[in-house]
Amino acid sequence: MQQAEIKFEREDLEGLVAVGTYLAEAARRMGVELATEEFGETEFSVVKIGKGSELLSAPTRTESENLSAERRAGGERFAEQTKIERTGEITIMTTKKKEEEKPEYEAKREAYRKEFEELPLEKKVASLVELESIALSETFSFVMNSPYKIVGKIMDVLAEFGLKMEEDAKKQTRPEEHQTAGNDNQPSVSEENQNKKTTRSKKTEPPPPSV
């Protein structure tokens, strides 16, 4: 298997990645979390190629339409649309993630904490006792009404659903140019069905008559 040496400079991580891997997949396998940027209704991870741009697939139509000529000249690419095509050394500079705003529930929790601190001691104790009794009641009710097998089945279904969503999300970000070029060398459904039919016909073919 042909491999390329890839290094994420900001994270100071490097390793070997198989030729044919997209940069987004390489980052995920190496534990690098890429920041995303919105382009219309779609989000892409923008990375800057420092070395080894000639080892990568050509810019796609999606990249040309969304990244300005100046940004492309500076080495910026969409990680989900850029595939490693040849062996060699590649260096990548990721985009620093912006600080996200606190979710609404965190803001409410902070407000409740401040309010709780201002309560007198007896009211604090009363509130804690009330919350503990509610939590115990809800936990007991959930356990009594959820047998282990049902809970396990629910977790299996959720895991399978999550994997399917992840795979669908990958397919949506794949460039059209790469999909029509053989879809990563994976056989199509029609090809697989044809192979199965051929195999079955070979198995059921009667032996030649004896002379």
Q: Is residue 180 in a domain?
A: no
Which residues make Cβ contacts (< 8 Å) with residue 48, sequence separation at least 6? 74, 75, 76, 77, 92, 93, 94, 95
My answer on whether 83 and 22 are in the same domain is yes
My answer on whether 29 and 109 are in the same domain is no
- What's the pLDDT score for residue 190? 44
CATH of the domain at 77: 3.10.20.30
Decide which of 138 and 167 is more confident: 167
Domain boundary among 122, 139, 160: 160
Per cent of the chain over pLDDT 90 is 43
Considering only CA atoms, which of 166, 168, 176 is closest in space to residue 62?
Answer: 176
Mean pLDDT of the chain: 76
Q: Residue 145's domain spans which residues?
A: 104-160
My answer on whether 19 and 84 are in the same domain is yes
- What's the pLDDT score for residue 115? 74
C-alpha separations of 147 from 90, 138, 143, 155, 160 in Å: 52, 15, 7, 13, 20
Q: Is residue 210 in a domain?
A: no
Q: Is residue 211 in a domain?
A: no
Domain boundary among 70, 94, 118: 94
Domain boundary among 94, 114, 134: 94
My answer on whether 8 and 78 are in the same domain is yes
Q: Per-residue pLDDT averaged across 189-207, rounded?
A: 49
pLDDT tens for residues 37-60? 999 989 999 999 999 999 999 999
My answer on whether 70 and 8 are in the same domain is yes
Q: Per-residue pLDDT averaged across 93-110, rounded?
A: 69
pLDDT tens for residues 143-174? 455 555 555 655 665 666 666 666 666 666 67
- Six token digits for residue 140: 């007991």
My answer on whether 130 and 50 are in the same domain is no
Q: Per-residue pLDDT averaged across 121-133, rounded?
A: 69
Q: Are 43 and 30 in contact (CB under 8 A)?
A: no
- What's the pLDDT score for residue 154? 56
pLDDT at 27 over 60: yes
My answer on whether 30 and 72 are in the same domain is yes
Confidence of residue 99 (pLDDT cuts 50, 70, 90): low
My answer on whether 57 and 120 are in the same domain is no
My answer on whether 120 and 72 are in the same domain is no
Q: Is residue 182 in a domain?
A: no
pLDDT at 202 over 50: no
Number of domains the chain contains: 2
- What's the pLDDT score for residue 145? 55
Q: Is residue 198 in a domain?
A: no
Q: Is residue 188 in a domain?
A: no
